Amino acid sequence: MRAFDFVSAESADQAVSLLSEHGPNVIVLAGGTDILVDLKHAKHDPDVVVDITRADDLKGIEVNDEGLRMGALVTHTEIMDDPYIQENFPALVHAAHTIGAVQTRNLGTLGGNLVTCVPSMDSGPALMALEAEVTVAGPDGTRRMDLEEFFVGPRKTVLEHNEVLLDVIIPKRNLGKPTDFLKFGLRKGQALALVNAASALWVGEGNTFKDVKISLGAVAPTVIRAPAAEDFLEGREITPENMAEAGRLAVEDAKPIDDFRASASYRRDLIAVLTKRTLDNAYRLAQND
Amino acid sequence: MTDVTLTINGEERSASVPPETSLLRLLRDEFYLTGSKLGCDVGDCGACTVIVDGMPVNACLMLAGQVDGRDVVTIEGLATLEDLHPIQKAFEEFASLQCGFCGPGVIISAKGLLDRNPDPTKEEIKDALSGNLCRCTGYTKMIEAVQDAARILRGEKEAA
Amino acid sequence: MTDDVKVADKTDSLTDLKETDEDLRLPSVVEPAHFPVETIDTEARHQTPAVGQRATRPDGRLHGLGQTKYIDDITFPNMLFAKMKRAGISSALIKSIDTSEAEAMPGVAAVLTGKEIPVNSYGPSYQDQPVLADERVFHAGDPVAAVAAVTEQIAEEACERIKVEYEPLEPVYDPVEAMKDEIKVHPPHSNIYATKRIKKGDLEKGFAEADHIFEGVYSTQMIEHVPLEPHASIAQWDPNGRVTLWSSLGRITLGRADIARTLDMPINKIRIVGTIVGGNFGGKNEITTEPALALLSRKTGRPVKMVYTREEEFIASTTRHPFIMEYKTGVTDDGMITARKVRLVLDGGAYCSWSETTLGKACILSAGPYNIENLLAEAYCMYTNKTMTGAMRGFGAPQVCFAYESQMDEIAHKLGIDPLELRMKNAFHEGSASPTGQVLQSVVVKDSLEKAAERFGWKEDGQ
Ligand SMILES: Cc1cc2nc3c(=O)[nH]c(=O)nc-3n(C[C@H](O)[C@H](O)[C@H](O)COP(=O)(O)OP(=O)(O)OC[C@H]3O[C@@H](n4cnc5c(N)ncnc54)[C@H](O)[C@@H]3O)c2cc1C
């Protein structure tokens, strides 16, 4: 690693002022599981690294008036261990569980995963299907936006150098919404997704799809929604055929590429299958409620 | 320079190191605790696994400054002068290690598991060891050793 | 490889192919020798009481305690750390190397280039690899300079400040393409640097006897050993002119001779301490950085350590050969193999390393564990501008196994014969002769096939 200075922030505010003071060539350090790898490979050469792991206001999982709030510093292990999430959002537990291995999940944070913003991130799809919002703190206060707006492109979010991600909120209307997440990697552990997908739905009158949200990862420059598939399902009867058709339509919504992990055509097959299965699993969850 | 004071294996230690020093380098180069190994330096292999505040982590992915004031357990902290830790004993008895390079990391991961879950299933053991790569032995004997150590730690079996 | 008849012609006409075994005619089954076949009890567990026993390792306790000292766990007072500047270009002439900026950096103790190495070449079979490339780059992982500094970080930054001017050359990556010798990796030498040919029986007659001919091309990829412990060594040159090397090297005697050659000094002045190896798998069977470290230690009067990064493990250590394997097999209606013709093309990368050994073993084993009266197996090892390939668990055996077993499955499928049955019909038995005429003893291929089939329920599950 190249030489840099290291400072520690005790709060989000302090992090913002340290970033402003030392910027623009500064970098936020949370769990370090993405950024330390980049620093070692000299992909970044910051003057100053601002450690935020001691900022307590970025931690914690709670249900408040707005919905379920998860601080940016919540680790993947904390998500897996949280009783409320276990009870209400098994998809989030499962998504967290697929990330790296125990050591990575103990260090790696939800915020870090979203800010790194690789298309294959495993936290993205389930949160996007649940219409999660994020809060960003900067020198001029905070702003709130949909997760979709937060993602700009591969490895790029809306964050300025002197802004931090504060938290992620699943809106109240979606608390307990039946959701499923599936990841297809080449191994069970330590493997990035070739494709991952999530579906969230309510069951409407006459056993129909209601408020279906489908989200896909590793098939476009950022995690995306699958609007064609969602529109098709809305109000239709819940049948295996309709789920399969949604899978086919989801392929149209995506722009998968060939890379060293998989070919685009393999990814297209995966999209159809994973979409169908997540819909099916989410529906099963709804029935068990 | 970054000044750090932390507890390592129950002992308070201090050092002043360049800010870009990883926890792994701190342990190995400053405190000569060479049991934690550098295998990949990017969190894939798990040979550097140590326990920080009760959680197994990759020492190569933390900066020294991040562990100031925290509690670290390394492989050197498991055995006493009198006795091996039951996991170490089981790994020896089951011949779970060949070249041994991955061993300290694997044993620390196993300790991290058994500290939290004294009676893990085979699947849970596999999951707990999935961040530790072994290129010689394979994992079967390791899993058997962890199961055996768990029995001893639960008091269901006498230590050999 | 269907349209390269030209290539085949060319290689056929190679004069350096050994044709001395042309008349070798070996029957595929020979009378078993009387001794010691009869005295061997093929029930493995009767042979030695060790089989089936649990064994512990004498070094297991230290491993588990974290007390085993691998190279990187060894430190000497005043020790320096070395890094190498890698070419990053796969084929080029080196016009100039400017190390002045690196040398001027605080903390840099010495910089070494290829010109300073007494005999700048090494290798366990052919000495075709430069310790530090000085005139020409043969693959992107070639080191062009080495730096010793007080920290690894400084050594690394110093490497970045070394300026190398290259004249890029057209590289060749495809081993089949390389056979044409249009682009030579090590001019003036041919890219075909090792060959082997095994003949047995009468190939034409064998194919004439066949009811079906099967042809297929199979290929395998390059594989890195990925030992968890990267390559590492420490050198200490003492004022008496002797050098001690601590190394993760698996073959220290061979390595010692290679180092003596590069340093142009008597072997008795070189001492190698082989430390506990953190995984080898064939990848640590030759020297790598040792001569450069020795010279850096001589320049500085201080011990010098170098540990490969994981990236260097992939680009600058040996790997498993990718193979391209052409198989032509004649089979009768009832599944008896009458003839087999095999051509293996091994991608040897930039240097020989253990390619010759791999080539030999692969060629001998390429027909599979089957009685084949009429056989021709040819193997060619090619230079390409890629990371060198060398020894790795099995020395070429896994690659050919993939090819011949794939073809056996294709044959079984096409002829509608049970794949197990097809193998049972053709497999070696006690006293079978290998393609090179070795009479085989303790042959348990059929027994193990049958046992395995029984254990995983082959018969019940069908195919
Ligand atoms: C071995 C290994 C396996 C992995 N496997 C997976 C996997 O299967 N799936 C997957 O999705 N990911 C995987 N990852 C990637 C990584 O673990 C996750 O993305 C992790 O969640 C990143 O979080 P972190 O806290 O470690 O981020 P850091 O590395 O600390 O930071 C990542 C980026 O986010 C910025 N950042 C972090 N927090 C904030 C904040 N609050 N505000 C502003 N900026 C911030 C940092 O500046 C940096 O740019 C793996 C990583 C490793 C090393």
- Taking the centre of ligand 1 as the mean of its atom positions, its distance from the CA of residue A112, in whole angstroms, is 4
| Contact predicate C123/C352, CB 8 Å | yes
- Taking the centre of ligand 1 as the mean of its atom positions, its distance from the CA of residue C111, in whole angstroms, is 38
How many whole angstroms separate alpha carbon A265 and alpha carbon C351? Answer: 37
Q: Is residue C287 part of a domain?
A: yes
Strand partners, C217: C326
Cross-chain Cβ contact C228/B79 below 8 Å:
no
Q: Is residue C55 part of a domain?
A: no
pLDDT digits over B1-15, tens only?
A: 999 999 999 999 999
| Contact predicate C276/C200, CB 8 Å | no
- By C-alpha distance, which of A109, A115, A83 is closest to A19? A115
Residue type, C16: D
Would you state the structure tokens that stand for residue B135, as one six-digit string?
């290129």
pLDDT at C83 over 60: yes
- Do B65 and B18 share a structural domain? yes
Q: Is residue C50 part of a domain?
A: no
Neighbours of A76 (CB within 10 A): 29
Q: How far is C64 from chain B (nearest CA, A)?
A: 5
Residue C44 has a pLDDT of 56
Q: Any chain C CB within 8 A of the CB of A2?
A: yes
Residue A87 has a pLDDT of 96
How many whole angstroms separate alpha carbon C347 and alpha carbon C324? Answer: 8
Residues of chain B with pLDDT under 70: 160
Q: Any chain B CB within 8 A of the CB of C59?
A: yes
Domain boundary among B32, B47, B77: B77
Q: Is residue B147 part of a domain?
A: yes
pLDDT in tens, chain A (289 residues): 889 999 999 999 999 999 999 989 999 999 999 999 999 988 889 999 999 999 999 999 999 999 999 999 999 999 999 999 999 999 999 999 999 999 999 999 999 999 999 999 999 999 999 999 999 999 999 999 999 999 999 999 999 999 999 999 999 999 999 999 999 999 888 899 999 999 999 999 999 999 999 999 999 999 999 999 999 999 999 999 999 999 999 999 999 999 989 999 999 999 999 999 999 999 999 998 7
pLDDT digits over A113-131, tens only?
A: 999 999 999 999 999 999 9
- Do C424 and C359 share a structural domain? yes
Cross-chain Cβ contact A106/B56 below 8 Å:
yes
Residue C43 has a pLDDT of 60
pLDDT at C346 over 90: yes
- Do C300 and C159 share a structural domain? yes
- By C-alpha distance, which of A75, A92, A78 is closest to A32? A75
Nearest-CB residue to C64 (from B32, B37, B91): B91
pTM exceeds 0.90: yes
pLDDT at C13 over 90: no
- Do C135 and C233 share a structural domain? yes
Cross-chain Cβ contact C227/B101 below 8 Å:
yes
Domain assignment of residue C390, given as a range:
5-38+175-224+318-461
Q: How far is B142 from chain C (nearest CA, A)?
A: 11
Domain with residue B117: its CATH number is 1.10.150.120
Domain boundary among B77, B112, B129: B77
Cross-chain Cβ contact B84/C68 below 8 Å:
no
Domain boundary among C265, C286, C316: C316
- Do B38 and B15 share a structural domain? yes
Give C64-98 as a DSSP string.
HHT----GGG---TT-EEEEEEE--SSSEEEEEEE
- Do C250 and C165 share a structural domain? yes
Q: Is residue B104 part of a domain?
A: yes
Phi, psi angle pair for B70, to nearest 5°: -105, 175
Residue C57: closest C-alpha in chain B: B95
- Do C159 and C267 share a structural domain? yes
Q: How far is C156 from chain A (nearest CA, A)?
A: 9
Residue nearest to atom 3 of ligand 1 (CA): A100
- By C-alpha distance, which of C90, C174, C172, C95 is closest to C137? C90
Residue A1 has a pLDDT of 85
Domain with residue B55: its CATH number is 3.10.20.30
pLDDT at C15 over 50: no
pLDDT at C453 over 60: yes
pLDDT digits over C118-175, tens only?
A: 999 999 999 999 999 999 999 999 999 999 999 999 999 999 999 999 999 999 999 9
Count of the separate structural domains present in chain B: 2
Q: Is residue C51 part of a domain?
A: no
- By C-alpha distance, which of C229, C215, C82 is closest to C158? C82
Residue C56 has a pLDDT of 84
Q: Is residue C56 part of a domain?
A: no
Q: Any chain C CB within 8 A of the CB of B35?
A: yes
pLDDT digits over C403-437, tens only?
A: 999 999 999 999 999 999 999 999 999 999 999 99
pLDDT at C348 over 90: yes
Count of the separate structural domains present in chain C: 2
pLDDT digits over C203-258, tens only?
A: 999 999 999 999 999 999 999 999 999 999 999 999 999 999 999 999 999 999 99
- By C-alpha distance, which of A120, A123, A109 is closest to A29? A109
| Contact predicate C71/C278, CB 8 Å | no
Residues in chain B: 160
Query: What is the value of ipTM here, to two decimals?
Result: 0.96
Q: Is residue B93 part of a domain?
A: yes
Domain boundary among B77, B95, B129: B77
Domain with residue C153: its CATH number is 3.90.1170.50
Domain assignment of residue B140, given as a range:
86-153
> For ligand 1, which residues put their CB under 6 angstroms from it?
A 27-35, 37, 52, 58, 72, 98-100, 104, 107-109, 111-113, 115-116, 121-122, 159, 164-165, 190, 192; B 43-44
| DSSP state for residue C389 in the 8-state scheme | B
Cα C442 to chain centroid, rounded: 28
Q: Is residue C382 part of a domain?
A: yes
pLDDT at C8 over 90: no
Residue C29 has a pLDDT of 61
3-state secondary structure C94-128: EEEEECHHHHHCCCEEEEEEHHHCCCCCECCCCCC
Would you state the structure tokens that stand for residue C24, as one six-digit string?
């070798």
How many whole angstroms separate alpha carbon C172 and alpha carbon B69? Answer: 56
Domain boundary among C256, C286, C316: C316
- Do C438 and C400 share a structural domain? yes
Would you state the structure tokens that stand for residue A233, as one six-digit string?
């399902």
Sign of CA dihedral A153, A155, A160, A166: positive
When pLDDT is cut at 50, 70 and 90, the band that residue C58 belongs to is confident
- Do C246 and C144 share a structural domain? yes
Q: Is residue C180 part of a domain?
A: yes
Residue C42 has a pLDDT of 57
Sign of CA dihedral A251, A252, A253, A257: positive
Residue C2 has a pLDDT of 42
Mutate to test the interface with C, among A2, A37, A260 (most CBs of C within 10 A): A2
Residue C462 has a pLDDT of 54
Q: Is residue C67 part of a domain?
A: no
Nearest-CB residue to A33 (from B49, B61, B68): B61
Domain boundary among C316, C340, C360: C316
- Do C18 and C154 share a structural domain? no
pLDDT at C31 over 80: no
Chain A, 100-139: which have a CB under 8 Å from a chain B CB?
100-104, 106-107
Residue B93: closest C-alpha in chain C: C56
Residue C460 has a pLDDT of 65
Identify which has the larger pLDDT, A205 or C49.
A205
- Do C448 and C306 share a structural domain? no
Which residue segments constitute the domains of chain A, with CATH numbers given? Answer: 5-51 (3.30.43.10), 56-174 (3.30.465.10), 179-288 (3.30.390.50)
Residue B21: closest C-alpha in chain A: A1
- Taking the centre of ligand 1 as the mean of its atom positions, its distance from the CA of residue A50, in whole angstroms, is 15
Residue C23 has a pLDDT of 43
Domain with residue C441: its CATH number is 3.30.365.10
- Mean pLDDT, residues C348-371 taken together: 96
Percentages of chain B per state (helix, strand, coil), in multiples of 5: 40, 15, 45
**Which residues on chain A are in Cβ contact (under 8 Å) with B43?**
33, 36-37, 100, 103-104
Say whether C235 sits in a helix, a strand or coil.
Answer: strand
Give Cβ neighbours of residue C188 (< 8 Å, ≥ 6 apart).
none
- By C-alpha distance, which of C75, C70, C69 is closest to C305? C75
Q: How far is A10 from chain C (nearest CA, A)?
A: 30
When pLDDT is cut at 50, 70 and 90, the band that residue C49 belongs to is low
Q: Which atom of ligand 1 is nearest to the CA of A38?
A: 29
Residue C154 has a pLDDT of 97
- Do C108 and C86 share a structural domain? yes
Mutate to test the interface with A, among B26, B50, B61, B129 (most CBs of A within 10 A): B61
Q: Is residue B148 part of a domain?
A: yes
- Do B90 and B73 share a structural domain? no
- By C-alpha distance, which of B50, B47, B53, B44 is closest to B31? B50
- Mean pLDDT, residues C259-288 taken together: 96
Give Cβ neighbours of residue A157 (< 8 Å, ≥ 6 apart).
A114, A115, A117, A150, A151, A165
pLDDT digits over C163-214, tens only?
A: 999 999 999 999 999 999 999 999 999 999 999 999 999 999 999 999 999 9
pLDDT at C342 over 90: yes
**Which residues on chain A are in Cβ contact (under 8 Å) with B66?**
8, 29, 32, 51, 53
Say whether A62 sits in a helix, a strand or coil.
Answer: strand
Letter string b/e over residues B27-39, b meaning 16 or more CB atoms within 10 A of that residue's CB: bbbbbebbbbbbb
Residue C37 has a pLDDT of 46
pLDDT at C46 over 80: no
Q: Is residue B130 part of a domain?
A: yes
- Do C250 and C133 share a structural domain? yes
Q: Is residue B22 part of a domain?
A: yes
Residue C365 has a pLDDT of 97
pLDDT digits over B29-60, tens only?
A: 999 999 999 999 999 999 999 999 999 999 99
Would you state the structure tokens that stand for residue C119, as one six-digit string?
């005999």
Chains near A with 3+ CB pairs less than 8 A apart are: B, C
Q: Any chain B CB within 8 A of the CB of C150?
A: no
When pLDDT is cut at 50, 70 and 90, the band that residue C6 belongs to is very low
Q: Any chain C CB within 8 A of the CB of A260?
A: no
How many whole angstroms separate alpha carbon A116 and alpha carbon A195? Answer: 17
Residue type, B149: A
- Do C209 and C83 share a structural domain? no
| DSSP state for residue C321 in the 8-state scheme | P
Would you state the structure tokens that stand for residue A168, as one six-digit string?
């992620």
pLDDT at C326 over 90: yes
Would you state the structure tokens that stand for residue C141, as one six-digit string?
């992982």
pLDDT at C47 over 70: no
- Do B134 and B73 share a structural domain? no
Strand partners, A46: none
Residue nearest to atom 50 of ligand 1 (CA): A100
